[in-house]
Amino acid sequence: MGAVPDYLEEIDPYSAESVELWDELPFWSAPFGLMLLDRVPMKAGQVILDLGPGTGFPALELAQRCGPSCRVIAVDP
pTM of the model: 0.58
The candidate with the shortest Cα–Cα distance to 70, out of 48, 52, 49, is 48
Give residue limits of the domains in the chain. Answer: 13-75
Strand (E) or helix (H) holding 49 = strand 47-51
Q: What is the pLDDT of residues 11-29, one digit of tens each?
A: 787 888 877 777 776 677 7
Q: What single-letter amino acid sits at 68?
A: P
Give the per-residue pLDDT at 2.
65
Q: What is the pLDDT of residues 23-55, one digit of tens each?
A: 776 677 778 878 888 888 888 899 999 898 877
